[in-house]
Amino acid sequence: MELVYAMAIGIVTGSGVWLLLRPRTFQVIMGLALLSYAVNLFIFAMGRLNMNQAPVLDPTRVIDVAQYADPVPQALVLTAIVIGFATTALFLVVLLASRGFAGTDHVDGSEGEHR
Amino acid sequence: MSLLAIILLPFLGSLCAAFMPANARNAEAWLAGTAALATTLLVASLYGDIQSEGVLRASVPWAPSLGLEFSLRMDGFAWLFALLVAAMGTLVVLYARYYMSPEDPVPRFFSFFLAFMGAMLGVVLSGNLIQLAMFWELTSLASFMLIAYWNHRVDARRGARMALTVTATGGLALLAGMLILGHVAGSYDLDVVLQAGDKIRAHAWYPAALALVVLGALTKSAQFPFHFWLPHAMAAPTPVSAYLHSATMVKAGVFLLARLWPVLAGTDAWFWIVGGAGLLSLVVGAYLALFQRDMKGVLAYSTISHLGLITLLLGMNSPLALVAAVFHIINHATFKASLFMAAGIVDHETGTRDMTRLSGLYRAMPITATLALVAAASMAGVPLLNGFLSKEMFFAETVFIARPDFQRVGLPMAATLAGIFSVAYSLRFIHCVFFGRPAQELPRAPHEPPGWMLVPSALLVFACLLVGMFPAHTIGPFLAVATHSLLGASTPEYSLAIWHGFNLPLMMSLAALAGGIVLYQLLRRRADSVPLLEPLDGKRAFDFVQTALSTGSERLMRLLVSRRLQVQLLLIVVFALAAVLLPLTADRAGWTLARPSLPDPAFALLWLVGGACALGTAYKAKRHRLAALVLSGGTGLATCLTFAWFSAPDLALTQLTVEVVTVVLLLLGLRWLPRRNDASAPDIPTSTRLRRWRDRSIALLAGGGLGSLAYIMLTRPAGEGISPFFLEQALPLGGGLNVVNVILVDFRGFDTLGEITVLGIVALTVYALLRRFRPAPESMELTQQQQEHSTPPPDTDAVLPPGPMAVPAVLVRLLMPLALLVSLYFLLRGHNAPGGGFVGGLVLATTVILQYIVGGTVWVESRSRLHPPHWIALGLLAAAAAGCGAWLASLPFLTSLAWHGSLPLVGELHISTVLLFDIGVYMLVVGATVLMLVALAHQSLRAHHRKPARAGEE
């Protein structure tokens, strides 16, 4: 289980970083999206992998901490997902404006000598 | 508490002055004068207390957690200096009232003037080293603003910048020195530091502390080699020169040296550094003053010279010299301020300060001339004036200094030489301007100034005479109190008499007088260039250093900084990699791998697809954006299922809804990106190939690194964290069963409030950016699909859209109330079961977007207007209100309040402010999401209809 999970993080991270280093704005935005998946998964994994232990308490029983998944990484990731959406939206609009302004979708606003 | 009032009064006055109308010259002067006079009286009224108690203290807690408090301390020396600052301020305000012209923006002048006065009093009265350094920098800032007061003049701006650069740099050095002193003494409290003199002088860091403190003092007091800023500061209005740059601010340096004299003085290092700088300033300043054409230039260099005299006295390591230094601080302030006032009057009434043009003004302005004559005589050290007394004491000190031979002979000679220069430039100042043939061709016909303008100068000159003739009865007691507070029991015997008999110091004075007269006669013919010291130009050195620094940093910037995003991102990734790898290489124990548990085949399959989608996105993102978007959505879904798999239902729900909204958002953006030709370039240059391989390996490293790190973490037991607290206290403290939601809206509610604020700001920013959006010309025309299937203009009256969208439109409309219900359900149950404001809001937003997609923007907006900005505002207000509600119960912000009870008919009820908070989150998420998506969707309409001004409105 852990191996698959770790490999998944690795593959998504690798794809994300590769796209992050590309020259086109759309590639970078996709790279950021992939990277945020990977990072969210990574943070989430800090609570370890638990199945059928959602941190929703059962009021009829005495609370046993060991029976529930770690809620803190979940709260962190939930925040990260929403903020990630906001930054994606902002970046999209900035890249559209930059494209309208500079006439190119190169990240530097000009084609430069490299492609 | 009157100590506090002494500091606060000028600052309050400054605040009031700043808000007065620009032409209220009289009101401003009255205000400033009243504030200054009241401060003076306050200071004066404390004399009795100082005499009886010795030291007055007052303190206000400032940052108690850091052990800092705002502490004020007044002893005899501080009292004398504070009185000097306040009284001089009062006189200069009166003078400035007549000096400033009606066109000058006086609020700015008086406001900064009073602020300076407050800051200077702060320096004098500070009972804490750090606080002293802070007020010290404040005086530099006030001086900057006042030198640059006539900011339309280039020389004023340059002079101000130079003064600020030099004095503020010195101030930084001073702060460092103070930190060392405080560290060594064990406290920043001035009382403690003053007691720790022996400990500090014996400490290994004493040289560093000494060098830094002295650097601060020398820059402030314009001592050689930092003297060059003072003549350039003469671009300030003359009242400023009289007050800041002769009487008070430049004295802050010598004040500090005297203040810390019991702590730092007494060593050879002190003698050579302080005494050396003082001697050089004394002689060089006086010499340069001989050759100035500008009246204020003469006075500026003379100030440098006299400050050098004081610094030299302080550097002599003799208590008697310290007494002389304190005495000369007062004397110099009186005669020099009066001379500056005279120079200002001449400038004011004739229109020039150029000594080669001025001549014979005595006839036109006899009173001004007489006052200047007496003050200049005092500056030259003519008997029966106060300048003579302290100079005599100085000469005596140089003669009787206990140093090796060559210093014992050299010092009196240098002192006499400086005395000769001083007499010569004083003579020149008076003779050149007021005597000789009456000047022709002056810009204005000279005459006496208004009577009140002469009063401050006259009072000061009167003080010179009074102190000069009856020193023991006028200044005597005050000087005794001041020096006693500095030296304590070791205060030496001194005599303030005028006549000490025919001794060597008197001979030196007479020699200086005679030599000065002769020197002036010799030099009368040449006055434009400075012989001998011409190459010694501090300003040129300053400019050189400044240029070298700025070009150097530019070069460094070019070398180290790239404006290209790719390079920056590459550096970030590489540094992140290195930052993670370094600790891992240090600790090999982290590398041992545990055996993994067997994977569930379904989970493995899930990530086979998810990973393939990620790789596909990476591959397709350049040429096939739509495909890449869909594939990344696949990875997102795999992530979402993973969350669900591993006991995170809230995350799964949020991820799912966010995924939908993100894909719609990006789809809307695709239309505005340039078309990429499918035919790839046949030959890719080698450099590009190499770069791609480099990036591939970096990506491989990053992916492998994060993956291994995750694996290492996952196969180890979790550490003891803070999670048990949340699990245990969610119900008793938060009153909710869904711990994740309780953390978000209750325990860490402040974070969430910040987060939704960010979300709202982003939405408004997106909206604002799109209002001014100008698409690239080639994206303006209709898309290929729109051209092929030409659609009729939307009919807002139609019940259903025509064409293939009719059936989906029916379904989507049926969905609307259901989705609303579901979103409310998620919202309300969020505290006890998976759900909450984020998920609920996103569900509702998705439904609204769906209406737009299927029904078309025009059709939807003809039926209803959602006003997303209102939702954002209401949401934020609701969340904030939920937080503020706690104040009603006298609890901290965002403490949750709950009411549990039963109502008739409704049954058992649990109402909490947390619900209101979550409703706020819900509304904000709806508003922000819809605002962003609709704003983006409107761009198509706008371009289509070519109505750029209106379309972005909603």
Question: What DSSP string describes B502-532?
Answer: S-HHHHHHHHHHHHHHHHHHHHTT--SS-TT
| Residue A88 structural domain | 2-50+68-102
Q: Is A35 inside a domain boundary? A: yes
Chain B residues in contact with A85 (beta carbon < 8 A)? 658, 661-662
Chain B residues in contact with A5 (beta carbon < 8 A)? 607, 642, 710-711, 714
Chain A residues in contact with B599 (beta carbon < 8 A)? 1, 3-4
pLDDT of residue B202: 92
Chain A residues in contact with B698 (beta carbon < 8 A)? 17, 21
**Can you read off the two tokens belonging to residue B604?**
């493995």
Nearest to A72 among B625, B710, B721 (CB): B721
Under 8 Å CB pairs connecting chains A and B tally to: 326
C-beta of residue B173 within 8 angstroms of C-beta of residue B157: no
Q: How far is Cα B745 from Cα B84, in angstroms, rounded to an integer?
A: 60
pLDDT of residue B530: 67
CB contact under 8 Å between B566 and A21, yes or no, is yes
Q: How far is Cα B32 from Cα B605, in angstroms, rounded to an integer?
A: 82
**Can you read off the two tokens belonging to residue B34?**
């009243």
Nearest to B704 among A10, A58, A93 (CB): A10
**Can you read off the two tokens belonging to residue A92?**
């999209």
Instruction: Give B776→chain A minimum CA distance, Å.
Output: 4
C-beta of residue B399 within 8 angstroms of C-beta of residue B338: no
CB contact under 8 Å between A1 and B596, yes or no, is yes
C-beta of residue B125 within 8 angstroms of C-beta of residue B6: yes
Say how many residues make up chain B: 954
| Burial class (CB within 10 angstroms; exposed 0-12, middle 13-18, buried 19+) of B702 | buried
Q: How far is Cα B746 from Cα B473, in angstroms, rounded to an integer?
A: 74
Q: How far is Cα B116 from Cα B7, in angstroms, rounded to an integer?
A: 11
Instruction: Give B797→chain A minimum CA distance, Å.
Output: 33
Could you tell me which of B327, B286, B320 has the C-alpha nearest to residue B416? B286
C-beta of residue B97 within 8 angstroms of C-beta of residue B452: yes
Q: How far are the Cα atoms of A5, A52, B530, B602, B632 from residue B645, in angstroms, in the given order? A: 12, 8, 88, 11, 20
Residue B906, classed as helix, strand or coil, is coil
Q: How far is Cα B226 from Cα B107, in angstroms, rounded to an integer?
A: 32
CB contact under 8 Å between B711 and A20, yes or no, is no
Q: How far is CA A10 from the centre of its chain?
A: 13
Q: How far is CA B289 from the centre of its chain?
A: 36
Residue B328, classed as helix, strand or coil, is helix
Chain B residues in contact with A98 (beta carbon < 8 A)? none
User: Tokens 């530099």 belong to which residue?
Assistant: B140
- Residue from A22, A24, A26, A48 to probe the interface with B (highest B Cβ count within 10 Å): A26
One-letter amino acid of A34: L
Q: Which stretches of chain B drop beneath a pLDDT of 50?
A: 947-954
Chain A residues in contact with B839 (beta carbon < 8 A)? none
Strands B907-912 and B68-74, bridge-based pairing: unpaired
CB contact under 8 Å between A85 and B646, yes or no, is no
Q: How far is Cα B646 from Cα B648, in angstroms, rounded to an integer?
A: 6
Q: Is A20 inside a domain boundary? A: yes
Q: Is A77 inside a domain boundary? A: yes
Instruction: Give B604→chain A minimum CA distance, Å.
Output: 6
CB contact under 8 Å between A56 and B708, yes or no, is no
Strands B898-903 and B68-74, bridge-based pairing: unpaired
Nearest CA in chain A to B711: A6
Q: Is A63 inside a domain boundary? A: no
Could you tell me which of A55, A13, A16 has the C-alpha nearest to residue B643? A55
Q: How far is Cα B324 from Cα B186, in angstroms, rounded to an integer?
A: 32
Q: Is A61 inside a domain boundary? A: no
Q: How far is Cα B407 from Cα A60, in angstroms, rounded to an integer?
A: 95
Q: How far is Cα B46 from Cα B3, in angstroms, rounded to an integer?
A: 9
Q: How far is Cα B100 from Cα B93, in angstroms, rounded to an integer?
A: 10
Q: Is A57 inside a domain boundary? A: no
Nearest to A17 among B615, B636, B699 (CB): B699
Instruction: Give B91→chain A minimum CA distance, Å.
Output: 59
Q: How far are the Cα atoms of B666, B784, B865 from residue B941, in angstroms, in the given order? A: 17, 16, 17
Could you tell me which of B351, B357, B542, B335 has the C-alpha nearest to residue B422? B335
One-letter amino acid of A102: A
Say how many residues make up chain A: 115
User: Tokens 């798999």 belong to which residue?
Assistant: B645
| DSSP track, B533-589 | TTT--HHHHHHHHHHHHHHHHHHHHHHH----HHHHHHHHHHHHHHHHHHHHHH-GG
Chain A residues in contact with B569 (beta carbon < 8 A)? 20-21, 28
| Burial class (CB within 10 angstroms; exposed 0-12, middle 13-18, buried 19+) of B45 | exposed
Residues β-bridged to residue B354: B294
**Can you read off the two tokens belonging to residue B383?**
């008997």
Q: How far is Cα B373 from Cα B553, in angstroms, rounded to an integer?
A: 51
- Residue from B598, B605, B608, B635 to probe the interface with A (highest A Cβ count within 10 Å): B635
pLDDT over 70 at A10, yes or no: yes
CB contact under 8 Å between B647 and A51, yes or no, is yes
pLDDT of residue B342: 93
**Can you read off the two tokens belonging to residue B562?**
């790239």
Q: Which helix (H) or strand (E) holds B816?
A: helix B806-829
CB contact under 8 Å between B737 and A57, yes or no, is yes
Cite the DSSP H helix spans in B587-647.
601-620, 625-645
CB contact under 8 Å between A45 and B713, yes or no, is yes
CB contact under 8 Å between A18 and B566, yes or no, is no
Q: Is A108 inside a domain boundary? A: no
CB contact under 8 Å between B731 and A59, yes or no, is yes
DSSP state of A54: -
pTM higher than 0.90, yes or no? no
Residue B68, classed as helix, strand or coil, is strand
CB contact under 8 Å between A55 and B740, yes or no, is yes
Nearest to B695 among A18, A41, A72 (CB): A18
Nearest to B639 among A41, A85, A97 (CB): A41
Nearest CA in chain B to A7: B707
Cis peptide leading into B225, omega within 30 of 0? yes
Chain B residues in contact with A6 (beta carbon < 8 A)? 707-708, 710-711, 714
Chain B residues in contact with A45 (beta carbon < 8 A)? 710, 713-714
One-letter amino acid of B910: H
CB contact under 8 Å between A9 and B700, yes or no, is no
Residue B58, classed as helix, strand or coil, is strand
Chain B residues in contact with A105 (beta carbon < 8 A)? 673-674
Gap between the terminal Cα atoms of chain B: 59
**Can you read off the two tokens belonging to residue B685?**
């240059």
In chain B, how many H helices and how many E strands?
Answer: 41, 4
pLDDT of residue B948: 43
Domain count, chain A: 1
CATH at residue A31: 1.10.287
| DSSP track, B355-411 | TTT---TTTT-HHHHHHHHHHHHHHHT-TTSHHHHHHHHHHHHHHH--S-HHHHHHH
Q: How far is Cα B76 from Cα B73, in angstroms, rounded to an integer?
A: 10
Strands B907-912 and B56-63, bridge-based pairing: unpaired
Nearest CA in chain B to A26: B621
Instruction: Give B209→chain A minimum CA distance, Å.
Output: 48
| Burial class (CB within 10 angstroms; exposed 0-12, middle 13-18, buried 19+) of B627 | middle
CB contact under 8 Å between A52 and B647, yes or no, is yes
3-state helix, strand, coil in chain A (%, to 5): 65, 5, 30
Nearest CA in chain B to A69: B647
Q: How far is Cα B423 from Cα A40, in angstroms, rounded to an integer?
A: 81
Instruction: Give B550→chain A minimum CA distance, Å.
Output: 27
Q: Which helix (H) or strand (E) holds B146?
A: helix B129-147
Residue B809, classed as helix, strand or coil, is helix
Chain B residues in contact with A23 (beta carbon < 8 A)? 566
Q: Is A10 inside a domain boundary? A: yes
User: Is the C-alpha dihedral spanning B915, B920, B926, B929 positive or negative?
Assistant: negative
Q: How far is CA B63 from the centre of its chain?
A: 19
The 10 Å CB-count burial string (b at 16+, else e) for A31-47 is bbbbbbbbbbbbebbbb
CB contact under 8 Å between B925 and A50, yes or no, is no
C-beta of residue B443 within 8 angstroms of C-beta of residue B351: yes
- Residue from A7, A64, A104, A106 to probe the interface with B (highest B Cβ count within 10 Å): A7
CB contact under 8 Å between A20 and B700, yes or no, is no
Chain B residues in contact with A70 (beta carbon < 8 A)? 718, 721, 723
Q: How far is Cα B438 from Cα B440, in angstroms, rounded to an integer?
A: 7
CB contact under 8 Å between A50 and B713, yes or no, is no
Residue B209, classed as helix, strand or coil, is helix
Could you tell me which of B125, B325, B301 has the C-alpha nearest to residue B223? B301
Nearest to B658 among A49, A75, A81 (CB): A81
CB contact under 8 Å between A79 and B718, yes or no, is no
Q: How far is Cα B107 from Cα B105, in angstroms, rounded to an integer?
A: 6
